[in-house]
Amino acid sequence: MAAKSRESVSGPRFSWSDRLSFLLSTALGLGLSPLAPGTCGTLMGILLHGLVVIVFPGAWHVYVLSIVLLVICVASRMTAPWAMKHWESEDPKPFVLDEVAGYLIIPLLFTEGQLWEVMLWGFILFRVFDIVKVPPARQIDRSLPGPWGILLDDLVAGVQATLVMYVLWFLGVIG
């Protein structure tokens, strides 16, 4: 009996480009969660937010968060076509870079309160707005196909969550 080739036993081989696209698009695997992959992916945004605050002086936070957000948006735009093809979906659930980007809008625009408050309220409100898809996020999600639609509805959800956080700050709930 002839030995099976290594490829037939282990499945198709992935190129380094495929592996990088897989790791990026799933936020290092967080998007592979069988329960609430978008919520798990958002945790990468919280981690990045926390690292920026811990590592960089306060005066640099906005600049570094802007760069991180830009890099995540570019990575999202570049890996989304791969993810759509790989998972055979117009908006694949394991693809969570859009959630990372959407959350990062919040610490970039909301500069009040303690770190833990921003992370907690930002996480909760972002997930609510991302799931419910309040207009115009709903229209973007439905009418703008492909990588831009996947990303932009989450960025809008991040802005909407930020606006609510400012209302909560004004009312004294935050800060």
In a domain, 14, yes or no: no
Does 43 have pLDDT greater than 80? yes
Give the mean pLDDT of 85-105.
97
In a domain, 149, yes or no: yes
Confidence of residue 173 (pLDDT cuts 50, 70, 90): very high
In a domain, 132, yes or no: yes
* Nearest by Cα to 26 from 10, 44, 46: 44
Residues 1-16 pLDDT 10s: 444 433 334 456 779 9
Does 129 have pLDDT greater than 70? yes
In a domain, 124, yes or no: yes
Give the mean pLDDT of 116-134.
97
Q: How far apart, in whole angstroms, are the C-alpha atoms of residue 46 and residue 65? A: 11
* Nearest by Cα to 19 from 7, 9, 29, 8: 29
Q: What is the CA radius of gyration of the chain?
A: 18
Number of domains in the chain: 1
In a domain, 43, yes or no: yes
Residues 57-90 pLDDT 10s: 999 999 999 999 999 999 999 999 999 999 999 9
In a domain, 74, yes or no: yes
In a domain, 46, yes or no: yes
Give residue 91's domain range.
31-170
In a domain, 175, yes or no: no
